[in-house]
Structure 1
Amino acid sequence: MPHSPYRQLMGICRQAVEDIYAGCEEDKVPRELGCLPDHDFALVQLLRRQASIVSILYAETVAEAKLGMMTEDEVKSEMESEVDSDGDPEPEPVLESQLQSQLETECRLQQQRLLRKRLEDILSMAYAKFYHYTFSDLPPWLRQLYTDASILKFAEQFLSSALARHTIAGTNSDAFVLSDEFTAMVKTLDLAIIMAGAAGAKRGRKWIDEALRLLGQCYIPDDEELEEAEWLENQRKGTDLPLPWEERQSFPDFEPVSIPVSQPIRRTGCMDIQSFQRYLDRPGHKTTGALPLIITGLVDHWPALTTHPWCKPSYLFHRTLGGRRLVPVEIGRSYVDEGWGQELITFRQFITSYFAPQCDSSPPSSSAKQQRDIAYLAQHPLLSQIPALRNDITIPDLCHTCPPRNPFHRGPAVEELEEPKLNAWFGPPGTITPLHTDPYHNLLVQVVGRKYVRLYGPWEGRRMRARGIEGGIDMSNTSEWDVGVEEGWDGMPEVEGGEGEGEGGEIEERHGAFNKIPYVDCVLEPGDTLYIPVGWWHYVRSLSVSFSVSFWWN
């Protein structure tokens, strides 16, 4: 009989702690943490000491839990073993015993506080070193150091929790269901994924995914999730019941701004890989290459659109451990606006704070409040972070075609991707991606809600007013044109030192220049797939609550 998820989780924690301790030794074989070149020896040895302390914590947790499990007869036997040679029990003053117990408890708590502080110190010092590199150039040992410190922190949190004590004692821990302990443990592992990519060959991502899977089985779900669990059990028994999510509330379909399509993109039915390859190879105009195309019916089979509906907040909460998974969101209307920033918040906080249905359909005002009150989960590998959601979709076969190069690209060739890059785009109405261009071909699949997309051909590059180096960051793939402002869908964003740009005739001249640039546009409905050829400039706007998945390939 397989072990319960509680005991499995305790087992993998113990093994990980032992492996981290051993991996920090100087004489280990290459590729272990302790002997990677140019590593911070003091930091690695500090990590090793904390692994040793966590091992002691594990032993103490087991010993205490077993003591609490002793029966009356076992206690009597223990007392009999302490009888002296004269047949009299050893005297043990009650007060002295209580004081000794209090001192041991206080000593252990102090040790745990120090352990937590040291682990936080290691994580802070490792993260501070991240700023010396771009993320893609982070040394593997540094990413693994952060990940291993996170695993030790998780192990300490778990071993110190009520769940661990109840696991060893063989009792249930209902109090653990919605406790802060559970949320803190999820946060620790998610930070390892988001900050360091959960690096490590022996542990790393594989270990963290398994820990999160087991952790998800260790808490009692809410009423809605219990119904879904009952439905799954009945399905296994062959009992036919309605889908558990049919009666759940969907995201509101309110659209604060109505945007008409003026230059519609061609639509076509489902295409197989051969038909799509012919479309790419034989464009109507050789000078322009293949044009944007909307393909319908391509993803109708996705569980995300059927049995596992992403349009239901309750389903997304279920797949994110009650909404406890941590996600990075952009705060502000656009990443080119003043005051734009990023935050790490839980999935539930994201939805409850920013997805409240809007009742006012009047045009938004030009204010800092407008920018602060919107958040967007944009260009994030959410499906890699949360495999349960990744299982709700499949990569379209069309991503395995051989698309042409961008004929208007004059810079160095883009690195060839071994497999498509998947990103999630999820947010309330009004979230936008400003006018920009990407170095890959893109299939943008609309799963929830409606989204407006406007595209400009790559031959319009000069009229796109590409930005330059801003704050040390190359922004040349982003246009200076603010489509929402030019069209009147958004108020003028506040800028440092003034309320807006230009006056009178200058504004009219700018509008005139913008309106002369030809474009094509569309509104994507759930189930639509938009092909965006490489190099095409595109502006994207959520009309309602919207969830999309993009597939980049070349």
Structure 2
Amino acid sequence: MRLSPVQKLKNISAKDFLHIYMKPAKPVILKDFVDPESPAFTKWNYEYFKEIAGEYKVNIYGSEIESLDRVASKPIGQSTFSKYLDLITSSPTEHRLFLFNLLSIKPELKNDLYYNDVTKGKIIKWLPFMFFGGKGSITRNHVDIDMSHVFITQFQGIKRIWLFPWEQSDLMYKLPYNFHSLANIKEPDYKEFPGLKYLDGYEAVINPGETLYIPSGWWHYIQYETEGYSVSVRALPSSFLEKWRGFKNLVLIRHFDNIMRNLFKEKWFSFKVRKAKRKANRAIKRQKSFQI
């Protein structure tokens, strides 16, 4: 597995961003996608969040290793938002909040964000999401089901994100009819999953104020180096193929997978594992033929 650092930029024009990064689908870290003068950088903190929304119930998510047969893992419990924030600031924990939309609960918070929109109006500013996690928590290697472009801005703490293009899906043992990989890329077992040796991706470390651009259809594995939180906004897929994949994933594939899992249970998962490994073996052969 080879990982190259993601480039960090500031003051890029919309024309250059669209031409150099968005159109060719290349990740980049933007240091000023959210304007440094945004009130969020001085106003937001855990005590403020507890004051305005501490009593809200939140679903807590843990390790996803046990949920490989599911499109999305199930929450492991509930807590008040305030108690959850106390948890992640007191000790390392794998517990995290997934798609917790504080910005919908308190829509006035959206006014605290000023965007330098290098997409020329493509980002969906009215639909941001927040992600919270404790030190050491992870989000499994996956592609976003709707195939959108994602801009994820760190506000507190540090995140490490590994990125791989869609074309390498077979090498990372993508489970059929799902949107995550069978193999654990954080602790790769090259004997069990030899395709991982041929992966060629990027590593991004994002600090407060920095925004990682994840192109449509790119795989991403996320690790919280410290406790922290981020805000993501999306831009709809650009090409017809990406739009079709997003529509198919949302409307057809995830429901088909749920039906088959309910009908055939472990047999359905075993079938998907075998198919993922067959496709990976074919991809490995192609890689070896390129190297001859």
Q: TM-score, normalised by structure 1?
A: 0.38
Of Structure 1 and Structure 2, the greater strand share is in 2
Pair 1:421 & 2:127 matched: yes
Per-residue deviation at 1:327?
2.2
Per-residue deviation at 1:335?
6.6
Q: Answer yes or no: is the 8 Å Cα contact 2:88–2:227 preserved in 1.
A: no
1:61-94, Cα deviation, whole Å (9 max, x unpaired):
xxxxxxxxxxxxxxxxxxxxxxxxxxxxxxxxxx
- Unaligned stretches of 5+ in structure 2? 237-292
Per-residue deviation at 1:400?
4.1
1:500-540, Cα deviation, whole Å (9 max, x unpaired):
xxxxxxx5523543132111111101111111110111111
Please tell me the residue identity of whatever aligns with 1:349: K
Q: Answer yes or no: is the 8 Å Cα contact 1:333–1:340 preserved in 2.
A: no
Q: Aligned residue for 1:317?
A: 50
Per-residue deviation at 1:401?
4.4
Pair 1:462 & 2:170 matched: yes
- In terms of Rg, which structure is larger? 1
Residues 546/460 of structure 1: CA separation in 2 closer, same or farther (3 Å cut)? same
Residues 421/279 of structure 1: CA separation in 2 closer, same or farther (3 Å cut)? farther
Please tell me the residue identity of whatever aligns with 1:551: V
Q: Aligned residue for 2:181?
A: 479
Please tell me the residue identity of whatever aligns with 1:301: E
Give the alignment partner of residue 225 of structure 2, picking from 543, 546, 552. 543
Q: Answer yes or no: is the 8 Å Cα contact 1:265–1:292 preserved in 2.
A: yes
Q: Answer yes or no: is the 8 Å Cα contact 2:6–2:202 preserved in 1.
A: yes
Supply the distance in 1 between the matched residues of 2:52 and 2:39 (Cα, whole angstroms).
Answer: 13
Per-residue deviation at 1:389?
3.1
Please tell me the residue identity of whatever aligns with 2:230: S
Q: Aligned residue for 2:96?
A: 376
Pair 1:515 & 2:223 matched: no
Supply the distance in 1 between the matched residues of 2:127 and 2:143 (Cα, whole angstroms).
Answer: 16
Supply the distance in 2 between the matched residues of 1:419 and 1:446 (Cα, whole angstroms).
Answer: 16
Q: Aligned residue for 2:64?
A: 334
Supply the distance in 2 between the matched residues of 1:522 and 1:447 (Cα, whole angstroms).
Answer: 15
Per-residue deviation at 1:436?
0.8
Supply the distance in 2 between the matched residues of 1:271 and 1:432 (Cα, whole angstroms).
Answer: 31
Q: Aligned residue for 1:305?
A: 41
Q: For 1:269-284, list aligned pairs within 5 A.
A: 269-280=10-21
Give the alignment partner of residue 77 of structure 2, picking from 329, 343, 360. 343
Q: Answer yes or no: is the 8 Å Cα contact 1:273–1:401 preserved in 2.
A: no
Pair 1:392 & 2:127 matched: no
Pair 1:441 & 2:138 matched: no
Q: Aligned residue for 2:211?
A: 529
Q: Answer yes or no: is the 8 Å Cα contact 1:268–1:296 preserved in 2.
A: yes
Q: Answer yes or no: is the 8 Å Cα contact 1:451–1:542 preserved in 2.
A: yes
- Unaligned stretches of 5+ in structure 1? 1-260, 284-288, 359-372, 403-416, 469-473, 487-506
1:220-241, Cα deviation, whole Å (9 max, x unpaired):
xxxxxxxxxxxxxxxxxxxxxx
Supply the distance in 1 between the matched residues of 2:211 and 2:41 (Cα, whole angstroms).
Answer: 13
Q: Answer yes or no: is the 8 Å Cα contact 2:97–2:131 preserved in 1.
A: yes
Supply the distance in 2 between the matched residues of 1:279 and 1:522 (Cα, whole angstroms).
Answer: 18
Secondary structure, aligned partner of 2:200:
coil
Q: Aligned residue for 2:264?
A: none
Per-residue deviation at 1:328?
2.4
Secondary structure, aligned partner of 1:374:
coil
Supply the distance in 1 between the matched residues of 2:106 and 2:76 (Cα, whole angstroms).
Answer: 20
Q: Which has the higher contact order (CA 8 A, sep 6+)?
A: 2
Of Structure 1 and Structure 2, the greater helix share is in 1
Residues 418/511 of structure 1: CA separation in 2 closer, same or farther (3 Å cut)? closer
Give the alignment partner of residue 9 of structure 2, picking from 268, 271, 291. 268
Per-residue deviation at 1:399?
4.8
Q: Answer yes or no: is the 8 Å Cα contact 1:399–1:420 preserved in 2.
A: no
Q: Aligned residue for 2:30?
A: 295
Q: For 1:168-179, list aligned pairs within 5 A.
A: none
Q: For 1:6-17, list aligned pairs within 5 A.
A: none
Secondary structure, aligned partner of 1:541:
strand
Secondary structure, aligned partner of 2:153:
strand
Q: For 1:395-410, list aligned pairs within 5 A.
A: 395-401=115-121
Q: Answer yes or no: is the 8 Å Cα contact 1:383–1:424 preserved in 2.
A: yes
Supply the distance in 2 between the matched residues of 1:391 and 1:335 (Cα, whole angstroms).
Answer: 37
Q: Answer yes or no: is the 8 Å Cα contact 2:3–2:200 preserved in 1.
A: no
Supply the distance in 2 between the matched residues of 1:418 and 1:309 (Cα, whole angstroms).
Answer: 22
Q: For 1:152-167, list aligned pairs within 5 A.
A: none
Residues 459/544 of structure 1: CA separation in 2 closer, same or farther (3 Å cut)? same
Residues 317/280 of structure 1: CA separation in 2 closer, same or farther (3 Å cut)? same
Q: Answer yes or no: is the 8 Å Cα contact 2:128–2:231 preserved in 1.
A: yes
Secondary structure, aligned partner of 2:15:
helix
Supply the distance in 1 between the matched residues of 2:124 and 2:3 (Cα, whole angstroms).
Answer: 37
Secondary structure, aligned partner of 1:513:
helix
Percent identical among aligned pairs is 24
Supply the distance in 2 between the matched residues of 1:278 and 1:262 (Cα, whole angstroms).
Answer: 24
**Aligned-CA RMSD value:** 2.7
Please tell me the residue identity of whatever aligns with 2:229: F
Secondary structure, aligned partner of 2:187:
helix
Residues 467/396 of structure 1: CA separation in 2 closer, same or farther (3 Å cut)? farther
Supply the distance in 1 between the matched residues of 2:143 and 2:134 (Cα, whole angstroms).
Answer: 23
Per-residue deviation at 1:290?
2.7
Per-residue deviation at 1:455?
0.5
Supply the distance in 2 between the matched residues of 1:481 and 1:302 (Cα, whole angstroms).
Answer: 40
Supply the distance in 2 between the matched residues of 1:538 and 1:379 (Cα, whole angstroms).
Answer: 16
